[in-house]
Structure 1
Amino acid sequence: MDQKLALLSTLNQKDKGTAYLSLLSDVYSNPDAPHIVQDTRAVIEHLMSQDSGIIVGRQVLSELVKYLGGPAVVNTDTRKRILEDVLNIVQPRLASYEEQVNLFKFQLADLLENEEEWSDAARVLMGITLDSSQRATDEERLRVYIRIVRLLLEEEDSIQAETYYNRAASLIHSTTDKETLLAYKLSQARISDYGRKFLEAAARYHELSFVGEIDEDERRHMLSAAVTCAVLAPAGPNRSRILASLYRDERTAELPTYNILSKMFLDQILRPAEVKEFEKILKPHQLAQVSLSANDRLAAAMQGDDDDGSAEVVSTRTGPSTVLDRAVLEHNLLACSRIYNNITFRGLGALLDLTPGAAETMARKMIEQGRLKGHIDQVDKLIWFEAAKEEDDAQGKAGGLGDVNQDTEDTGGFFTKRWDMQIRLTAAHVETVVQHLVEKGLVNSAAAKA
């Protein structure tokens, strides 16, 4: 190889392009050659050091792109080593060979992604100079940004992913391609999920679960993600609508999370075993730790004063530890208000697995924020619940929004099952009528199926 390169140096400028291409063809004529990596490196180093001209350099690098993208090199490790070597050699002269370098980086990113090296693949794509490239269209930039977001989210790097998502958002108007739009919407849902904007994420996941172009298993996964985010979302009329929509979706009955979804929607108490089972499917960002407030610490200090003189301690917990824990505790407290007229601090603590003081603190917060109707009797250590009005049902949910406007929201929780049964009966009657018409020959069977 050294002799061939030395001979090539003596050629005229106009003959060098053909000579380099011929030499490159010899290198890749045998894909199993043991020195293909070293020979390729030698050719490219010679090409860059001899300053054979930009036109010749672009021709040779473009031909190398074809060889590496085709069947000339089967071994992926060999291809990766060649790509990394070429990029290191050509990088100092990026301005002259920008298009070819970008193509090499796309090939390297494909290899890394296939090996599930998500962060490395994302870093390679980040190095592509799309903003300064005149040939790159807005739609091409959009696809690269969405791909980077997807790769970063696989590594749960939501902060950096949001940066590229914002870039994609400014270019989404430039495409009408369905696949690109679906990828963008999925990125949007996942970004909202990782940012703990669970209400937005639930709505977008649920919307995507109806898209026919998406694989059935993926649609089921998105539906499950919608239920998870809806359970974790803060309370309010919009959350109640999402819960109602998911509860009425007949597909959710087949999900393992249907039990907790139905109990949340129907204001039933959640048991520790049910919460533990639900917790297994949550991702780390959905189990974010919550710090104890000053009131929670005070409740722990006053634990001895709240046990009504009994030596038995109901619980040692002084407050919720995670986002899920807080949502479940507040939901169970609201469920208690539907069952009892009043309850002692100690009794509520036993139900919520909290110290009596911590249970009182949580109830007081929710009463102050207008998410729980009632009042507290400090002398008798009782919490009195007021009968919830229909317009309050949409607001008093687990999670809490703080001070929110009272909006009338009839979610129809008491009539949901009756409504579903009426739909089933109507569909069954229609099916029976059609069957009779087919049997009598009044309607063609193919038309009936259509």
Structure 2
Amino acid sequence: MASAGVASALAAIDATSNQQTKAQLYNELLPKIVSSSSSPTLSQDLIAFLESILSENVSIIASRPLLDAFINALRELPAPAKIEVGQHAIQALQSRSTSVEEQDSLIREILADAYEAQEEYLAAAKVLQGIHLDSSQRLISDGAKVRMWIRIVRLYLEEDDPTSAEGFLKKIKNLPSKIQDPELKLHFQLSQARIFDARRRFLDASQEYLNVSLATGVEEGDRLQALSAAICCAVLAPAGPQRSRMLSRLYKDDRSSSLQEYSILEKIFRDHLLSPEEVKAFGTKLAPHQLAQTADGSTVLDKAVIEHNLLAASRLYENINVVNLASILGLEASGDLTAGERAEAYAARMVEQGRLEGKIDQIAGVIYFNSGIDGVGPTDTEGKSLRIWDAGVQHLADDVEKVAAAIMDDFPEFAAAHEQAEPR
């Protein structure tokens, strides 16, 4: 309930019949209400003031400038008061929505700022959704629409709601004109990356984060943060050729060596086995959704590491028993499956998806890896080690012969003297 002084003043203004005099009295009263910002009745006083200027006793022509003054006063209030007064204001304006759309949108933005300051991101997003961006009453540019939609997207992402965020991101994609503002384009790319990340489309997320890290006009610290996110997503992506190409790009980026994630990036790029200690240390840097459990009970990180170590094992072994492979991968029995059966299931899925070359002998319980060596011959596993050895010796002999020939060409006197000095 409004204070007695404000209620009395509003009643006196309401009794005045002259619209010009009314407007003047309202403009004199509003600063007095706001000046008592410490008053416990401040919110109720402003609500009473708003109801009075929106009443039938005040003409629409007179109420609009008064409403504008009210909005300016609302901006100066503390967040809790903004929320209490702003909520009432947007409800009060619903009956006049067509004639005060501009004022309604301004109040909603102020209210969203207050919600955001209180970390009530979902409430802020819903308030902004109520703004009529396709209204025939006022012309809104595509740039202004994109800016509002990106803000809503970011609010939903803060609330870990990628589904709602993606719905507004699609509105931006469906605009006939492309985003021209570099800042908006950057926010769009970052929002797209965060949505891919939240939906566990880690390869796509890594690419988008990398694009952000390479964008111009971004502070160096933010660029390195985006690059760090790109590396984390690449590590979490399913093992395979596409991931290998992404890891190669990140590993060859000169900035990567300055990041904490570089050590695990290097090991994964070089197909080295990852130890549990390294994985645990890396896991402390990940977001909660990146550590979420999958259908089989393992986390996203666990699955990524198991698949990577399986791929690394295929570089070390021609064939391996599924029980020994399970030991290397750190797998244990789960439910009705033994550790060996779990290792076999991981390998079978990767072979089926084309992310690992090999074959499985289920009767013998052995997995045969088929990595292939360029210039060595067929990719079957029989005799592969011998062919690799032969090829290595041949390459070494060729290199030695080339070096000797180069020395003889560039230093003929030295070569002749060396030949004469050799014992017979």
Q: Into which bin does the TM-score normalised by the smaller protein fall?
A: 0.7 to 0.9
Look up the match of 1:130.
Answer: 133
What is the deviation of 1:192? Answer: 1.5
Look up the match of 1:348.
Answer: 325
Look up the match of 1:328.
Answer: 305
Residue type of the partner of 2:171? Answer: R
Provide the identity percentage: 42
Pick closer, same or farther for the CA change 1:12–1:153 going to 2, 3 Å.
same
In the alignment, is residue 49 of structure 1 matched against residue 55 of structure 2? yes
Look up the match of 2:405.
Answer: none
What is the deviation of 1:248? Answer: 0.9
Structure 1 contact 203–226 (Cα < 8 Å) conserved: yes
TM-score, length basis structure 1: 0.73
For the residue of structure 1 that corresponds to 2:320, the secondary structure is: strand
Look up the match of 1:439.
Answer: none
Structure 2 contact 26–66 (Cα < 8 Å) conserved: yes
In the alignment, is residue 87 of structure 1 matched against residue 86 of structure 2? no
Separation (CA, whole Å) in 2 of partners of 1:374 and 1:33: 76
For the residue of structure 1 that corresponds to 2:214, the secondary structure is: coil
In the alignment, is residue 97 of structure 1 matched against residue 100 of structure 2? yes
Separation (CA, whole Å) in 2 of partners of 1:271 and 1:101: 58
Pick closer, same or farther for the CA change 1:91–1:339 going to 2, 3 Å.
same
Separation (CA, whole Å) in 1 of partners of 2:358 and 2:7: 89
Superposition map of 1:6-405 within 5 A: 6-8=11-13, 9-28=15-34, 31-32=37-38, 35-69=41-75, 73=76, 75-132=78-135, 134-171=138-175, 173=177, 175-292=179-296, 321-354=298-331, 355-390=339-374
Pick closer, same or farther for the CA change 1:270–1:164 going to 2, 3 Å.
same
What is the deviation of 1:175? Answer: 4.3
List per-residue Cα deviations over 1:286-313 (Å, max 9, x = no partner).
2343324xxxxxxxxxxxxxxxxxxxxx
Separation (CA, whole Å) in 2 of partners of 1:336 and 1:165: 41
For the residue of structure 1 that corresponds to 2:30, the secondary structure is: helix
Separation (CA, whole Å) in 1 of partners of 2:180 and 2:350: 46
For the residue of structure 2 that corresponds to 1:250, the secondary structure is: coil
What is the deviation of 1:34? Answer: 5.5
What is the deviation of 1:74? Answer: 5.4
Structure 1 contact 139–174 (Cα < 8 Å) conserved: no
Structure 1 contact 44–86 (Cα < 8 Å) conserved: yes
Structure 1 contact 125–148 (Cα < 8 Å) conserved: yes
For the residue of structure 1 that corresponds to 2:98, the secondary structure is: coil
What is the deviation of 1:331? Answer: 1.6
Relative to structure 2, which stretch is displaced further, 8-17 or 243-252?
8-17
Higher RCO structure, 1 or 2 (CA under 8 Å, sep 6+): 1
Pick closer, same or farther for the CA change 1:59–1:360 going to 2, 3 Å.
same
Runs of 5+ in structure 2 lacking a partner? 1-5, 332-338, 376-424
Pick closer, same or farther for the CA change 1:34–1:357 going to 2, 3 Å.
closer
For the residue of structure 2 that corresponds to 1:267, the secondary structure is: coil
Pick closer, same or farther for the CA change 1:53–1:75 going to 2, 3 Å.
same
TM-score, length basis structure 2: 0.77
What is the deviation of 1:103? Answer: 0.7
Separation (CA, whole Å) in 2 of partners of 1:93 and 1:139: 27
What is the deviation of 1:158? Answer: 0.7
Structure 2 contact 112–125 (Cα < 8 Å) conserved: yes
Relative to structure 2, which stretch is displaced further, 370-379 or 104-113?
370-379
RMSD of aligned C-alpha atoms? Answer: 2.5
Q: Greater CA radius of gyration, 1 or 2?
A: 2
Structure 1 contact 139–175 (Cα < 8 Å) conserved: yes
For the residue of structure 1 that corresponds to 2:54, the secondary structure is: helix
The correspondence for 1:4, drawn from 5, 9, 25, is: 9
Aligned pairs, how many?
361
Structure 1 contact 202–227 (Cα < 8 Å) conserved: yes
